[in-house]
Amino acid sequence: MSNVLYEVKGNIGILTINRPKALNALNSEVLNDLDAALDAVDVETIRCLILTGAGEKSFVAGADIAEMSTLTKAEGEAFGKKGNDVFRKIETFPLPVIAAVNGFALGGGCEISMSCDIRICSENAVFGQPEVGLGITPGFGGTQRLARLVSPGMAKQLIYTARNITAQEAYRIGLVNAVYPAEELMPAAEKMAASIAKNAPIAVRNCKKAINEGLQTDIDTAIVIEEKAFGDCFETHDQREGMGAFLEKRKEKNFINK
């Protein structure tokens, strides 16, 4: 799985897309390796994932244009499905995923970052959906997730013009939560991951599910989704532990994901 590196630091997992010669562009092999790497994550012990790109220049410079250039309609659709399946796996993964965007996040790169729960980036990051300039539409969820994350008007402007934006502009439109000097990006990602990892895993997982599923439906249905997520936390060890620690005025909490 050399196209995707996986490192465990305590209870945090770091996935690095590792194809720096092609600026970490996503070809079928990278997508397969990413799929396998996600399957290999120990979701019992890991509490948060970070997704980043190898090298200092690029997070992911898009889907692999060389691989896509000769695809037939059917192959194009199959390639789109492969990417979409992996991206949905990230989006519905039973752990929070932070995208640490360390450079170009174009096309499929911007799209994979949007399938993560949270995006932070380095000052040299560049975001964009250049697909219409290549004669295609965004194919890994860009038309859907960008419009949900920023305003539909801004998403349409970015997609129709194929214009790249800087880290600061991505911050201004709410595409990323924070911008850091390059050398501070991974420490900041790990710090954020650690502050998620210290909380009750079942509760965090249920929040992710409730937010994601609730955003796809009307408010009445969404509230029922939240009620279920809330109720589901009761009778767990970690709910007893979290509330017990408060009542006993105890700072240390022993959450065990049960």
In the complex, which residues of this chain contact ligand DAK (CB under 6 A)? Answer: 22-23, 25, 61-66, 76, 79-80, 83, 104, 106-108, 130-131, 134, 136, 138-140
Least distance in angstroms from the C-beta of 76 to ligand DAK: 4
For the question of residue 56 being annotated catalytic, the response is no
- Catalytic choice (7, 56, 75, 111): 111
Rounded to 5 degrees, φ, ψ at 12 are -115, 135
C-alpha–C-alpha distance, residues 138 and 61, integer Å? 13
Question: Strands, DSSP E only, in 29-123?
Answer: 48-53, 58-60, 97-101, 104-106, 118-122
C-alpha–C-alpha distance, residues 258 and 255, integer Å? 8
Least distance in angstroms from the C-beta of 151 to ligand DAK: 22
- Catalytic choice (7, 75, 123, 131): 131
**Do 104 and 60 contact (CB within 8 A), yes or no?**
yes
Tell me the longest C-alpha to C-alpha distance in the chain. Answer: 65
C-alpha–C-alpha distance, residues 97 and 179, integer Å? 17
When the beta carbons of 49 and 110 are compared against ligand DAK, the nearer one is 110
Which two tokens mark 19?
């194809």
When the beta carbons of 133 and 231 are compared against ligand DAK, the nearer one is 133
Least distance in angstroms from the C-beta of 170 to ligand DAK: 15
When the beta carbons of 134 and 194 are compared against ligand DAK, the nearer one is 134
Which two tokens mark 236?
């767990």
When the beta carbons of 110 and 192 are compared against ligand DAK, the nearer one is 110
For the question of residue 44 being annotated catalytic, the response is no
Least distance in angstroms from the C-beta of 127 to ligand DAK: 11
Active site residues: 111, 131
